[in-house]
Amino acid sequence: MSKIQHTILVLISIVSSFQCLAFYEGGAKFTAQLNYTKPPDSLIVKTFTKNWTYSDYPVSYFKAYQKGKFRFELEEFKKPVMIMITIKQGNKRLSYSYFMEHTDNVNFEVFRNNQRDSIAFSGNGSEKYNLVNQLEDEFKEYFSERSKLKLTITENLESALEKYAQMVQDYNGRKQEHIEKSNLSPEMKELINLQFANYYGDWSWLLSNLFVFKKTSQEVRDQIRASYLKFSPIFTQLPTAGSINCHRYIGALFDRVRADRLMGNNVGSIPLEQYYHAITNQYSGPVRERLLAEFFMSNYTLQNITSSASLSFDSLVADARRYLGKSELLSEALDYRSRLKRGNKLTEPTFTDLLGNPFNLETLTGKVLLIKVWATGCGGCMDFERRLIQDISPSFEGEQQFKVVSINVDKRTENWINSLNTGKYSTRRHLNLNTGGQGLSHPFLKQLNVNALPFVLIVDKKGNIYQKLDLSIENNDIIKVISSAIKE
């Protein structure tokens, strides 16, 4: 063989190696077929690189290369990460969540079947996607069966609670059989088991809420507590190494800590400090760090918490820093709460009014402000507006030192105005402002790390932060917060 021939063979070998390297080390690859009469021209994919829901993750939009057909590749990650595929079909948004691996090369097809949308996967790595679909379908079936038990009715409640516990055992047993029969790796089986169809978490959440709701009947509460204490040791899914990567499991574990304490008294609430120390004392290492991150970030931390009107996270933020370790998520959560510290000065509070003119909130110095941030299509935003109009604002009718500031983040002015005119999101009685096309990227909102809506904040007369209102705070407690700020 001549030197030239040898050199050519070597070059071919090198090129082939690079081609194989590019294929095997690239990101996950997807092709899709959407079988609709009028399929959308784009798919929306969000990648949860940190495996929790509070960070501002980039969203990718992929255009169809033919009618209803898509082809895309996602960024490579060495470990499994959560993705959410969203299909916007008319007024509906269909979202599907999965764990993705960088070796995946899958095709999925979406079609209408018996008046419902179905999605099926094939190709390399498809088994875990189809397994998740199966588990989630059975979870929906479980919810339908659960509603038939009518657990909110006190008659024959003890019998209904027994039937409910048996149902949870049966459905969870089926789930475990599906997972064990799969050919997935032990790591992927663990992640799917923790993340999807959490029957134990739903059971403890429902019973703790029933317990709080039935505050007028000690006998009923005793029945609920007895059922909880009987099955709680069985319906427990202990944290594992993969737990911190499963945000639904962490959310359920977070609720379980609260539920255990609620069942220990007849008040129907617990002190915030007790909740915090239950986490720090009961757990350690990465699981404790992840639960504390949830504690400081969740909109529902103050649900069923004693005297939530006068609560401040400031002292707990300072204490939690000793558990910081290497947790990026806890660091992010503590930074978030630090930005909301009482007395912090708000920066760059300039927005656009209904006439298109700039409006600076500093002109309202001397008034206590309830700032609510909302967007078109946000169900929670509509719910809070209803609470505000019906239950909160009447207490401050004619109060000259109080003003509601309604800030919309829609990027199109016509969407903002149309939604305002429905009366579902805001009212002309509020001061209505917009972020001027900047959405959640407006500097004022970036300072406060606003990534979920509605976002509600009380500002004192000096223009400083007074208190962020978690959505779980009762209306009467919100009234107390505002009244307290007015008096200062």
pLDDT of amino acid 52:
77
Same domain, 231 and 153: yes
Q: Is 149 among the domain residues?
A: yes
Same domain, 119 and 144: no
Q: Cα–Cα distances in Å, from 225 out to 4, 12, 251, 270?
A: 84, 72, 22, 16
Collapsing DSSP states into helix, strand and coil, what is residue 159? helix
Q: Which residue has the tokens 């657990």?
A: 151
The CA distance from 97 to 229, in Å, is 33
Final residue before a domain boundary, out of 76, 108, 124: 124
User: Residues for the chain: how many in total?
Assistant: 488
Which residues 6+ apart lie within 8 Å of 408 measured at CB?
A: 373, 374, 375, 376, 416, 419, 420, 425, 426, 432, 433, 434, 435
Same domain, 92 and 188: no
The CA distance from 328 to 52, in Å, is 11
Same domain, 245 and 152: yes
Beta bridge pairs of residue 93: 88
Same domain, 104 and 133: no
Q: Cα–Cα distances in Å, from 163 out to 45, 145, 205, 209, 237?
A: 40, 11, 17, 18, 21
Q: Is 437 among the domain residues?
A: yes
Say if residue 427's pLDDT is above 50. yes
Collapsing DSSP states into helix, strand and coil, what is residue 432? strand
Q: Is 186 among the domain residues?
A: yes
**What mean pLDDT is predicted for residues 408-416?**
94
- The whole-chain average pLDDT of the chain stands at 89
Closest among 177, 167, 224 to 199, alpha carbons compared? 167
Confidence band of 91 (pLDDT split at 50, 70, 90): low
Q: Cα–Cα distances in Å, from 458 out to 372, 450, 455?
A: 9, 14, 10
Percent of the chain at pLDDT > 70 equals 92
Q: Which amino acid is at 231?
A: F
pLDDT of amino acid 471:
80
Which residues 6+ apart lie within 8 Å of 452 measured at CB?
A: 54, 299
Over residues 431-465, the pLDDT tens digits come to 999 999 999 999 999 888 887 899 999 999 999 99
Same domain, 364 and 329: no
Q: Is 111 among the domain residues?
A: yes
Confidence band of 18 (pLDDT split at 50, 70, 90): very low
Final residue before a domain boundary, out of 124, 144, 168: 124
> What number of other Cβ atoms are within 10 A of residue 299's Cβ?
18
Residues 244 and 79: beta-carbon distance below 8 Å = no
Same domain, 152 and 230: yes
Residues 456 and 333: beta-carbon distance below 8 Å = no
Q: Which amino acid is at 40?
A: P
Q: 459 lies in which domain range?
A: 350-487
Q: How many domains does the chain have?
A: 3
Over residues 252-292, the pLDDT tens digits come to 999 999 999 999 888 888 999 999 999 999 999 999 999 99
Residue with the larger pLDDT of the pair 97 and 8:
97
Q: Which residue has the tokens 């949830």?
A: 294
Nearest-10 crossing angle of helices 157-181, 218-231: 30
Same domain, 194 and 74: no
Q: Is 278 among the domain residues?
A: yes
Same domain, 207 and 112: no
The encoded tokens of residue 306 equal 């004693």
Which residues 6+ apart lie within 8 Å of 361 measured at CB?
A: 346, 349, 350, 351, 369, 371, 405, 459, 463
DSSP secondary structure code for residue 288 in this structure: H
Residues 374 and 454: beta-carbon distance below 8 Å = yes
The encoded tokens of residue 102 equal 């960088």
Final residue before a domain boundary, out of 108, 124, 140: 124
Q: Is 345 among the domain residues?
A: no
Q: Is 112 left (phi over 0), alpha (psi -120 to 50) or beta?
A: beta
Same domain, 298 and 155: yes
Q: Is 331 among the domain residues?
A: yes
pLDDT of amino acid 23:
34
Say if residue 418's pLDDT is above 50. yes
Residues 10 and 4: beta-carbon distance below 8 Å = no
Q: Is 232 among the domain residues?
A: yes
Same domain, 300 and 377: no
| Predicted TM-score (pTM) of this structure | 0.83
Question: Phi and psi at residue 113, in whole multiples of 5°?
Answer: -145, 115
Say if residue 39's pLDDT is above 60. yes
Same domain, 461 and 314: no
Q: Output the domain CATH number for residue 410.
A: 3.40.30.10
pLDDT of amino acid 244:
92
Closest among 141, 152, 258 to 205, alpha carbons compared? 258
